A and B are shown apart, each in its own frame.
Chain A
Amino acid sequence: MPAPRHRSRTMRRVFKKTPGGKTVLHYSKRKPSKPQCGGCGKPLQGVPRKRVTEMQNLPKTAKRPDRPYGGILCTECTRALMIEKARQQ
């Protein structure tokens, strides 16, 4: 029987092969979910799925695209926003 702390589903079960040829059970933490667009709700591109401590070690440019509203809105929503702002002027 697995230990009580390993029975919860917040840890995922991973089967690993040892150099001796046996398969062995390991437990690892889960990745966070994909970020969504603030306007339409589609999954965003250019943002890695990593835990907070791993994200802190990444440089700023590796965490979001280099576009205005990058990491917040998808490309279609930003384009629509820009066109609206331009037509107001």
Chain B
Amino acid sequence: MVFEIGRLCIKIAGRDAGKKTLVVDVLENNYVLIDGLTRRRKCNIMHLEPLDKVLKIAKGASTDVVLKALKDEGIEIPEKTKKKDKKETTPRPKKQKVKKEKPVKVKKEIKKPVKEEKKKEEKTKESEPIKTKTETKETTPVKEENPKVEKTETKVEEKPAKIEEPKN
């Protein structure tokens, strides 16, 4: 028998072709249990090329025993690089979002029933929130001339603000 327990072989076929293995156990129908630099599995004799050496191993030896025997012979065993080691590197710095500061709004007690006058009064009161009723009346006609310019400014700052209604 060429393929006896402990025989050094090289795999010819498969995705682990070209790697050295040891015969660990003989199975029926031209099959053999191999282990070493490849995974521990059964393999067909047709896919193995035997070498001259025969090492001393017990039947059904574990992978640790097999690897030790290969090391004593002088065969290099490549180290396995795990993906977990790569992830232990320093994490990426997270992007810091710059928050825009919003202007502080002055809350008002009395509610407004009409919606049309709200926008006009918002323009007047956001610019001068602490004014009295008389002053707002004077400023409203001036600002009504350019409603579009002020509307764009107010849209950014729109919020449910309670605004007074100058009733006259």
Knowing A83-B12, A86-B10, A86-B12, say if A78 contacts B49 (CB, 8 Å): no
Q: Which residues of B have CB within 8 Å of A75?
A: 13
Q: With the chains together, A78 CA to B51 CA distance in Å?
A: 19
Q: Which residues of B have CB within 8 Å of A85?
A: 10, 18
Once the chains bind, are B17 and A78 in contact (CB under 8 Å)? Answer: yes
Count, chain A residues at interface, CB 8 A = 12
Once the chains bind, are B51 and A89 in contact (CB under 8 Å)? Answer: yes
Q: With the chains together, A89 CA to B52 CA distance in Å?
A: 9
Which residue from B12, B15, B51 sits with its C-beta under 8 Å from A79?
B12
Q: Which residue of B lies closest to A66 (CB)?
A: B15
Asked whether A87 is an interface residue with its Cβ less than 8 Å from the other chain, the reply is yes
Count, chain B residues at interface, CB 8 A = 10
B8-37 interface bits toward A, Cβ cutoff 8 Å, 1 = contact, 0 = none: 001111110110000000000000000000
Asked whether A67 is an interface residue with its Cβ less than 8 Å from the other chain, the reply is yes
Tell me, rounded to whole Å, the shortest Cβ–Cβ distance linking B38 to chain A: 13
Provide the main secondary structure of the chain B interface. loop
Q: Which residues of A have CB within 8 Å of B15?
A: 66-68
Q: Which residue of A lies closest to B48 (CB)?
A: A86
Knowing A87-B49, A89-B51, say if A82 contacts B14 (CB, 8 Å): no
Once the chains bind, are A67 and B17 in contact (CB under 8 Å)? Answer: yes
Tally of contacts, chain A with chain B, CB under 8 A: 29
Q: Which residue of B lies closest to A87 (CB)?
A: B49
Q: With the chains together, A79 CA to B18 CA distance in Å?
A: 10
Tell me, rounded to whole Å, the shortest Cβ–Cβ distance linking A52 to chain B: 26
Q: Which residue of A lies closest to B11 (CB)?
A: A82
Q: Which residues of A have CB within 8 Å of B12?
A: 79, 82-83, 86
Q: With the chains together, A54 CA to B13 CA distance in Å?
A: 30
Once the chains bind, are A86 and B49 in contact (CB under 8 Å)? Answer: yes
Once the chains bind, are B17 and A82 in contact (CB under 8 Å)? Answer: yes
Interface residues of B (CB under 8 A from A): 10-15, 17-18, 49, 51
Interface residues of A (CB under 8 A from B): 66-68, 75, 78-79, 82-83, 85-87, 89
Q: Can you report 17 residue pairs joining A to B where beta carbons are below 8 Å apart?
A: A66-B15, A67-B14, A68-B17, A79-B12, A79-B13, A82-B13, A82-B17, A82-B18, A82-B49, A83-B12, A85-B18, A86-B10, A86-B49, A86-B51, A87-B49, A89-B10, A89-B51
